[in-house]
Each structure stands twice: as structure tokens, then as C-alpha cells.
């Protein structure tokens, strides 16, 4: 997983030139998906992904927010594949 914003890059595999992050916690059920990325020491949350799921008949979509500490927050949409 990687994030790129404001000239900074975070990755879960520690790519050269990036800051390594790990999945501190994650939760998913039929209605939502929540993921927190933390620094390697688990001392602070670097990014939060919050998605709400919706489905009707054969259509499916997710939408929510991505926030990166000290950088910004963005709307996220995940249309059906």
C-alpha cells in the first residue's frame, strides 16, 4: 500500500524515499471499512481511511474520507469494479 501527498510518500513495504507505515488497525463489516496506518512504533496514527458501503440490487459503491495527519483530508469514492 502506498500514499502520496504534498510531496511526501508513505508505503507499507518501506520503498526507498518513502516513510514506512504499518496497518495499526483495520475493521470491515457489511456497512463500512475503517483502516488506520501508523508509524512503525505504533505511537501515532499517520493516516485514516473511512469508507461507507452501499449496495442496491447488483450495484455497489463505497465512499468516504482519507485523512493524513498534518497534510490534509480528501473525499474518496470507490465505484463498482
pLDDT of residue 58: 86
User: Could you report the per-residue pLDDT of 40-68, keeping only the tens digit for each?
Assistant: 988 999 999 999 999 888 888 999 999 99
Q: Looking at the predicted structure, is the pLDDT value of residue 81 above 90?
A: no
The whole-number pLDDT of residue 7 equals 93
Closest CA to 49 of 37, 29, 70, 35: 35
The C-alpha atoms of residue 14 and residue 6 are separated, in whole angstroms, by 18
Pick 60 or 37 by higher pLDDT.
Answer: 37
Instruction: Enter the pTM of the model.
Output: 0.87
Per domain, the residue ranges of the chain are 2-78
With CA atoms as reference, report the closest residue to 23 among 35, 11, 5: 35
Q: What is the mean pLDDT of the chain?
A: 93
Amino acid at each position: 500500500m502506498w500514499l502520496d501527498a504534498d510531496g511526501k510518500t508513505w508505503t507499507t513495504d518501506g520503498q526507498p524515499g518513502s516513510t514506512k507505515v504499518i496497518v495499526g488497525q483495520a475493521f470491515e463489516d457489511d456497512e463500512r471499512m475503517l483502516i488506520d496506518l501508523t508509524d512503525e512504533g505504533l505511537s501515532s496514527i499517520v493516516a485514516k481511511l473511512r469508507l461507507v458501503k452501499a449496495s442496491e440490487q447488483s450495484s455497489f459503491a463505497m465512499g468516504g474520507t482519507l485523512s493524513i495527519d498534518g497534510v490534509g483530508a480528501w473525499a474518496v469514492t470507490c465505484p463498482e469494479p
